[in-house]
């Protein structure tokens, strides 16, 4: 068991890293952890942090891979996740890494293996597992409220600066891949993917459409892109008895009493209205980092561990292969 207040080092204080910094400082004030240091390549940013937050900083991660540091929180570009994560795990540190875990299945598997060899926590930032709306949907599915799940569809898109390290599949669609895996407690068996390269960057797709097939012929549809207007983070689950729709950003949920019934040997649509489900809004990032801290303290497996993320990376790789080949591709774990 680690100390009751794990010492954590944050690596990367860019756009999303600033959110981690905010939450870690909040948790530190609550006496749950110690933000031991911050690492970033931008020395000017670090100088401001030293003055504003009174925290130790460095441009060199090695300065913090010392015996008194318990865990490393990695919020850096995706193509740096593997080398940084491997170095930290090799040094005997627990690791949180932002999604996606890596840019390849081979690299992801190596991180999972070294974490297990070192008996260290490897947690991945699949943040929607900590979203109150997603958790409520999982509860509805567990209780059989929707009946048999037919299919799910969701969007993760909105105008944003295009990424320079990964395309829409690895940056956006991985969210819903993981949500579907989490809700169903199953892994997809097949993927069909279509992508668009509208900004003329051959290695980085700007929009991706995925169709996943799960055991039991359950379908999962995903659209991800940084091109369209607005900010869309939504999810719909269609069942044989009822369906549910959710705005994941605002954590709202609506249960639709709709279904198809057979009457006089004919199929008839039935719509008996919808009910809004009250959900307590909670910040997913705080719940996520609280889980990480608890796992570091107790050795408990995280809700979003390395092995669950490994399956997401496999699916994302196969999606890109599907788009390249122009056909559906089977997903075989551990191949």
Q: Report pLDDT digits (tens) over 147-157.
A: 999 999 999 99
Residue 122, pLDDT > 50, answer yes
Q: Could you tell me if 107 and 211 lie in one domain? A: no
pLDDT of residue 200: 87
Q: Do 314 and 331 contact (CB within 8 A), yes or no?
A: yes
Q: Do 24 and 10 contact (CB within 8 A), yes or no?
A: yes
Q: For residues 257-271, b (16+ Cβ closer than 10 Å) or e, as one string?
A: ebbeeeeeeeeeeee
Decide if 24 is inside a domain.
Answer: yes
Q: Could you tell me if 81 and 134 lie in one domain? A: no
Decide if 35 is inside a domain.
Answer: yes
pLDDT of residue 17: 95
Q: Could you tell me if 95 and 182 lie in one domain? A: no
More confident residue, 20 or 164: 20
Q: Could you tell me if 77 and 194 lie in one domain? A: no
Find the distance separating the first CA and the last CA of the chain, reported in whole Å.
35
**309 cis-preceded (ω within 30 degrees of 0):** no
Q: Could you tell me if 164 and 294 lie in one domain? A: no
Q: Could you tell me if 102 and 137 lie in one domain? A: no
DSSP string, 52-79: HH---EES-GGGG-STT--EEEE-S-GG
Residue 1, pLDDT > 50, answer no
pLDDT of residue 3: 58
| The model scores a pTM over 0.85 | yes
* CA-to-CA dists, residue 244 to 145, 282, 316, angstroms: 10, 20, 26
Which residue segment(s) compose the domain that 207 sits in? 129-283+314-330
Q: Could you tell me if 137 and 272 lie in one domain? A: yes
Decide if 211 is inside a domain.
Answer: yes
**β-bridge partners, 190:** 213, 330
Q: Do 185 and 137 contact (CB within 8 A), yes or no?
A: no
Q: What is the tens place of the pLDDT at every residue in 261-275?
A: 988 889 999 999 999
The percent of residues in the chain predicted with pLDDT above 90, rounded, is 93
Kindly indicate the confidence band of residue 335, based on its pLDDT and cuts at 50, 70 and 90.
Answer: low
Decide if 63 is inside a domain.
Answer: yes
Measured in whole angstroms, how far is the alpha carbon of residue 48 from the centre of its chain? 30
Q: Could you tell me if 72 and 147 lie in one domain? A: no
Count of all residues that appear for the chain in the document: 335
pLDDT of residue 66: 87
Q: What is the CATH number of the domain that holds 29?
A: 3.40.50.720
Q: What is the tens place of the pLDDT at every residue in 64-101?
A: 998 899 999 999 999 999 999 999 999 999 999 999 99
Q: Could you tell me if 213 and 246 lie in one domain? A: yes
Average pLDDT over residues 184-199: 98
Q: What is the tens place of the pLDDT at every residue in 219-243?
A: 999 999 999 999 999 999 999 999 9
């Amino acid at each position: 068991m680690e100390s009751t207040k794990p010492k954590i080092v944050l690596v990367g204080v860019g756009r999303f890293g600033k959110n981690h910094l905010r939450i870690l400082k909040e948790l530190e004030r609550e006496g749950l952890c110690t933000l031991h240091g911050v690492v970033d390549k931008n020395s000017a940013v670090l100088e401001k942090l030293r003055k504003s937050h009174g925290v130790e900083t460095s441009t060199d991660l090695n300065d913090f891979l010392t015996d008194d540091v318990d865990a490393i929180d990695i919020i850096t570009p995706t193509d740096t996740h593997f080398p940084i994560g491997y170095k930290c795990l090799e040094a005997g540190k627990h690791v949180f890494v932002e999604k996606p875990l890596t840019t390849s299945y081979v690299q992801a598997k190596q991180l999972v293996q070294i974490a297990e060899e070192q008996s260290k926590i490897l947690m991945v930032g699949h943040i929607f597992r900590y979203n109150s709306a997603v958790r409520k949907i999982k509860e509805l599915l567990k209780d059989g409220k929707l009946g048999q799940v037919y299919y799910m569809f969701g969007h993760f898109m909105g105008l944003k600066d295009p990424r320079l390290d990964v395309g829409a599949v690895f940056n956006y669609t991985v969210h819903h891949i993981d949500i579907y895996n989490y809700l169903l407690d199953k892994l997809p068996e097949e993927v069909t993917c279509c992508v668009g390269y509208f900004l003329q960057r051959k290695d980085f797709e700007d929009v991706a459409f995925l169709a996943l097939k799960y055991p039991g012929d359950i379908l999962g549809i995903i659209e991800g892109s940084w091109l369209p207007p607005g900010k869309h983070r939504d999810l719909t689950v269609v069942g044989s008895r009822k369906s549910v729709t959710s705005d994941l950003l605002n954590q709202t949920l609506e249960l639709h009493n709709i279904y198809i019934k057979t009457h006089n040997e004919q199929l008839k649509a039935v719509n008996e209205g919808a009910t809004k489900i009250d959900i307590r809004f909670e910040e997913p990032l705080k719940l996520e980092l609280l889980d990480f801290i608890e796992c570091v303290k107790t050795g408990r497996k995280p809700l979003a561990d390395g092995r669950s993320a490994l399956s997401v990376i496999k699916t994302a790789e196969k999606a890109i292969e599907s788009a390249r080949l122009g056909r559906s591709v089977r997903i075989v774990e551990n191949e």
